[in-house]
Amino acid sequence: MSAETQATRRYVRATMAGELLDAATERRLAVAWRDQRDEASLHRLISAYSRLAVSMAGRFRRYGLPYEDLVQQANLGLMRAAEKFDPDNGARFSTYARWWIKASIQDYVMRNLSVVRTATNAAQKKLFFNMRRVQAALERGGDGSLGSRALAQGIATELCVPVAEVELMIGRMAGPDLSLNAPQSDGGESREWLELLEDEAPAAEELVLERMESDHRRTILTEALMTLPQRERRILVERHLADAPSTLTELGAQLGISKERVRQLEERALKRMRAQVTDAAPGLAPVVAAA
């Protein structure tokens, strides 16, 4: 038996031997902590209900996580409950603390049971902690004749969650995590599972051809643009190539002409560009036409 386990068992025995608080004493301690921040009262309140934290931590041992960590998380939930508890709400502290303790343990289990987060919303959380219990009850009542679809439907009905969520959770909990770097077999020359994944990135040849095609198109468009008169070239640059395109009115003011004249020059420049590009690269003509 490890020293840590011995210490945990001593702690569990000590909590079970702690004092039991009546309602009046519990309220007095809670009020003293809330109103006066009396740490002695807080310590006594938490110590008295540590047995509740230990008891609830024991219910989650079936998940295979260290019991010491479960107890620690339960105590964190207990302290959170003591911080939030309002003695004037009429409820006993144990009733209020139970929810915080359970939530703290459940969050720890979901974060540490698997590398991949198993439950990310309320429906999945409900499934994670109740599916096996409901599944066992359905299988006992169905004399083993339930199919996978009927079983998933029964669980969804019992827990009031979508069937799709049930089927997804069944798949997630079907087996343990498997590293992609693990060998596919016990042989010394076995490949890793990672090698079976398909690389969806474009091949190097495709990237090179795409870059060459892009450079070719840019060259053709640049040469066609440079054949335009200076004023028309300026209009196209300001209207279509600038980070903040200018309006017809703005360009008209800069060039000393009307915005209608700017529109006419822009249209003529685009026609000239299309003609130049069509001769050099017919496939680029639609690109200029859409400009």
Asked if 37 and 75 sit in the same domain, the reply is yes
Asked if 7 and 107 sit in the same domain, the reply is yes
Asked if 100 and 9 sit in the same domain, the reply is yes
Asked if 217 and 272 sit in the same domain, the reply is yes
Number of domains, the chain: 3
The answer as to whether 140 is a domain residue is: yes
The answer as to whether 184 is a domain residue is: no
> Which residues of the chain carry a pLDDT beneath 70?
1-4, 114-123, 142-146, 170-182, 184, 187-190, 193-199, 280-291
Of 183, 202, 199, the closest CA to residue 191 belongs to 183
Distance of CA 154 to the CA centre of its chain: 28
pLDDT value, residue 260: 93
Asked if 28 and 104 sit in the same domain, the reply is yes
State the residue range of the domain holding 224.
Answer: 205-289
Phi-psi region of 18 (alpha: psi -120 to 50; beta: other; left: phi over 0): beta
Using a CB cutoff of 8 Å and minimum separation of 24, what contacts does 57-66 make? Answer: 57/105, 60/105, 60/106, 60/109, 63/109, 63/113, 64/113, 65/108, 65/109, 65/112, 65/113
Asked if 159 and 226 sit in the same domain, the reply is no
Asked if 137 and 230 sit in the same domain, the reply is no
pLDDT value, residue 1: 43
91 CB-side CA count, 13 A: 13
The contacts of residue 77 (CB under 8 Å, 6+ apart) are: 53, 97, 100, 101, 102, 103, 104, 105
Q: What is the CATH number of the domain that holds 271?
A: 1.10.10.10
pLDDT value, residue 71: 93
pLDDT value, residue 130: 75
Asked if 53 and 138 sit in the same domain, the reply is no
Asked if 212 and 250 sit in the same domain, the reply is yes
The answer as to whether 81 is a domain residue is: yes
pLDDT value, residue 17: 87
Asked if 100 and 161 sit in the same domain, the reply is no
pLDDT value, residue 275: 84
The answer as to whether 200 is a domain residue is: no
pLDDT value, residue 86: 92
Q: Tell which of 112, 130, 150 closes a domain.
A: 112
Asked if 62 and 31 sit in the same domain, the reply is yes
The answer as to whether 255 is a domain residue is: yes
Q: What is the CATH number of the domain that holds 50?
A: 1.20.120.1810
Burial state string for 171-182 with b = 16 or more CB within 10 A and e = fewer than 16: ebeeeeeeeeee
